[in-house]
Amino acid sequence: MKKTLLTVLTVLFFAPMAFAGNWGAGIKAGIGENDPKTLNDGYHNEIGDRDLTESDGFFGLEALYEHNLTNYDKIGIRLGVDFYGENELEVTSRLFDEKEDATENTYAIPLTVYYKRDNGVKNWSFFAGAGITYIHSELEYESENLMGMDKEEFSISKSKIFPHIMAGTEYRFSELFALGLEAKYNFSAKTEKNYEGLNVVLSDRSGLSGAVTARFYF
Domains of the chain: 2-217 (2.40.160.20)
Among 64, 84, 66, smallest CA distance to 74 is for 66
Q: What is the pTM of this model?
A: 0.82
- Angle CA 101–94–88, to nearest 5: 15
Helix (H) or strand (E) holding 195: strand 190-195
Write a three-state SS string for 130-191: EEEEEEEEEEEEEEEECCCCCCEEEEEEEEEEEEEEEEEEEEECCCCEEEEEEEEEECCCEE
Q: Which residue stretches of the chain have pLDDT < 50?
A: 16-20
**How many whole angstroms separate alpha carbon 121 and alpha carbon 152?**
58
| pLDDT at res. 118 | 95
| pLDDT at res. 17 | 47
Contacts of 67 (CB under 8 A, 6+ apart): 22, 74, 75, 76
Among 136, 157, 141, 212, smallest CA distance to 179 is for 212
| pLDDT at res. 115 | 97
| pLDDT at res. 194 | 81
Q: Are 57 and 31 in contact, with CB atoms under 8 Å apart?
A: yes
Q: Are 131 and 112 in contact, with CB atoms under 8 Å apart?
A: yes
**Beta pairing partners, 108:** 82, 135
23: Cα separation from own chain's centroid: 23
| pLDDT at res. 195 | 77
